[in-house]
Amino acid sequence: MEETRLPPGQYVPRGLPVIHYGRVPAFRPESWDLKVFGATASGEEHAFGWEEFTGLPRTVRVADFHCVTKFSVPGLEWGGVPPSALVAAAPPDPGVRHVMIWAEYGYSANLRWSDFTAPTTLFATELGDKPLTAEHGAPLRLVVPHLYGWKSVKWVRAIEYLLEDRRGFWEERGYHNVADPWREQRYSYQEEPGDGPP
Ligand SMILES: Nc1nc2c(c(=O)[nH]1)N[C@H]1C(S)=C(S)[C@@H](COP(=O)(O)O)O[C@H]1N2
Ligand SMILES: [Mo]
């Protein structure tokens, strides 16, 4: 029997649920790009085309996935580009401490630099050895498995380097700025000084 340790309050559902706000965007490789803007080292915005982005160094990572709605999916295998590879190609200003991850249609999530560059965080293009499906975030999603799922932004289109923290879509709507499932950081009223911007 396989034993999985889950964060408090979580259960394992059948399969991998699909959950997001709004519609599933279409992918057009010719016009798709990934922008890196804000506090870059050069002060210039970077833009990666699809070929260029998928040519960056790749890796595979296995991790459990935890949604704040209380499901946890054990042992998902993601393939893609580690943030370290993107950061090397688009260096930040030395003062950068946070990032905002931007998706199609304006969805966003903020992360501390340490969570963005954590060894488990990945820009995923594959799930379980297959290209991501549209509903799971194709062509590109971030996976931040050590935080609640809303930080794992699907349909990523831009990374904004931030000198100061700013709240993303759900963080502005009552969800916790940090979102550590092991500490059950679900809601913003649980935040302690230092967890987030005012
Ligand atoms: N762009 C975008 N990404 C998103 C969301 C969203 O609404 N829009 N929902 C998040 C939430 S709350 C969860 S739990 C995961 C779910 O990922 P899945 O549908 O692949 O299981 O996607 C996250 N990424
Ligand atoms: Mo979620």
Extents of the domains making up the chain = 33-190
pLDDT value at 2 more than 80:
no
Please give the average per-residue pLDDT across 1-8, as a whole number: 74
Phi/psi of residue 83, each to 5°? -50, -35
**Whole-number Å distance between alpha carbons of 48 and 90:** 10
Ligand nearest to the CA of 22: 1
Output the CA 125–ligand 1 centroid distance in Å: 15
> Which protein residue's CA is at the shortest distance from atom 16 of ligand 1?
19
Q: What gap in Å lies between CA 137 and CA 153, rounded to an integer? A: 8
Beta-sheet pairing, 33-38 with 156-162:
parallel
Averaged pLDDT of the chain: 96
Whole-number Å distance, alpha carbon 41 to ligand 1 midpoint, is 30
Higher pLDDT, 198 or 134: 134
Inform me whether the pLDDT recorded for 1 exceeds 50. no
Confidence class for position 4, pLDDT limits 50, 70, 90: low
Computed on alpha carbons and rounded to an integer, the radius of gyration of the chain in Å comes to: 16
- Residue 3 binned pLDDT confidence (cut-offs 50, 70, 90): low
Instruction: Please count the CA atoms within 13 angstroms of the CA of 72 that sit on its side-chain side.
Output: 19
* Each residue's pLDDT tens digit, 38-66: 999 999 999 999 999 999 999 999 999 99
pTM, entire model? 0.97
12, 18, 20: which to mutate for ligand 1, most atoms within 8 A of CB? 20
Assess whether the C-beta atom of 123 lies below 6 angstroms from ligand 1.
no
Q: Region 122-144: what's the mean pLDDT? A: 98
What number does CATH give the domain 33-190? 3.90.420.10
Of the candidates 73, 143, 78, the residue with the CA atom closest to the CA atom of residue 111: 143
Question: Could you give the CA distance from residue 170 to residue 192 in angstroms, rounded to a whole number?
Answer: 18
Ligand 1 close to Cβ of residue 24 (< 6 A) = no
- Asked whether 13 lines ligand 1 (CB < 6 A), one says no
Check residue 198 and give its pLDDT: 79
Mean pLDDT of 155-182: 98
Nearest ligand 1 atom, CA 17: 21
Say yes or no: CB of residue 186 within 6 Å of ligand 1: no
- CB 170 within 8 Å of CB 147: no
